[in-house]
Amino acid sequence: MESRSSIWALGWLLFFTLVVGENGVVANSSNSKRDGSRDCKFPAIFNFGDSHSDTGTTSAAFDSLGAPRGMSFPGLPGRACDGRLIIDFIAEDLGLPYLNSPEDTIGSNFTHGANFATGSTMINPDVVYGSTVPFHLDVQVSQFFQLKSHAIAQHEQLRNHRNNPPIQNNLPEPKVFSEALYTIDIGSNDKLDNLSISKNMNQFSNSVQRLLRGGAKYLWIHNIGPASCTPSGHNTCKNEPGCVLDQNGCDIKSSKSIQEFNKQLKDTVYKLRAQYPDAVITYVDIYSAKHRLIVNAKNYGFTNPFKFCCGNEFHTCGAVDFNGNLLVNACNDPQKYISWDGLHYSQAANQIVAKFVVNGSFSDPPVPVAKACYKQY
């Protein structure tokens, strides 16, 4: 009898340890992490988006984004900026190399991830709005899966030829794909009327679900920024009849459309969380982070937020004549400008917004990017 009691007690002890946990906290039935005491140590980042996070696709696949772009951080070509983008600062915060585009194969290394973002691209290819770039979000997701299949095949070859590898190892190990951080920053080029936003959200959800079904676990999703408060948005409104600007100089009508997009994006993220409880999906309010910077421009050491460093009303930044000569030079001090070219942010502005973002101040839940593998909702 005593022996049976001991076995019974041992069984309950084992049950308590497995279900309740060593620290007396009820264990979660899903595979999502909940500890949160240590950094996640993401081995890679896979990024999807438009020009706000494009680190080379447009430059490699279409026109080279040359000088004066990159003037503040030489050695990082292909960005619509004088230097680094928010995605570059996220990579720095996670201790990872800057991301290469799969379109730029010369000297690129994808062992720590890849960046599929493409300038002027959209979420929904069915809602054409001033863009003919074919690399919309679902195409970027397809490119990712192509990279993943090549990576799996490459490492299989390497395992079969350990002593004399037939190829160079420049793709992620298969296990990296389930451990990586997936970042998404897209929507700025999509049409923002009510019907189009609804279509955008359906397409966005479908594309993200492809990633989740394909093994992605940790997603970091940015909403879209206040384009209504950029020099381009401000000046476009001023030149249109019936324009109404708010006290901060932002186009009120455009701001409402952007906020509706972001509201529906947040709702979509919540639905995805419910559908995929084993995933950890963080929603990041880039709109509020950038809006704070614009409204408090002088406090952060910037000039008038509606002035920009590169380009003018006649020529875009980087425009050249038939002989390849620049038609307009950039300013000498881009660090004093929030806007680099009227639409995109300067490196100095990106760095401040990135500081807001990586510490979790504008995230839902409020978790820093380094701990975005832990479920806090």
Give catalytic residue positions: 51, 341, 344
Count Cβ atoms within 10 A of the Cβ of residue 323 and give its class: 0-12 exposed, 13-18 middle, 19 or more buried.
exposed
> DSSP label at 1?
-
Instruction: Produce one character per residue of 158-184: b if its CB has 16 or more CB atoms within 10 Å, e if not.
Output: beeeeeeeeeeeebbbeebbebbbbbb
Name every residue whose Cβ is closer than 8 Å to that of residue 219 and which is 6 or more positions away in sequence. 181, 182, 183, 184, 208, 211, 212, 279, 280, 281, 282
Supply 281's token pair: 């999906």
> DSSP label at 346?
P
Round the CA-based radius of gyration of the chain to a whole number and report it. 23
The CA-CA-CA angle for residues 370, 51, 211, to 5°, reads 55
> DSSP label at 299?
G
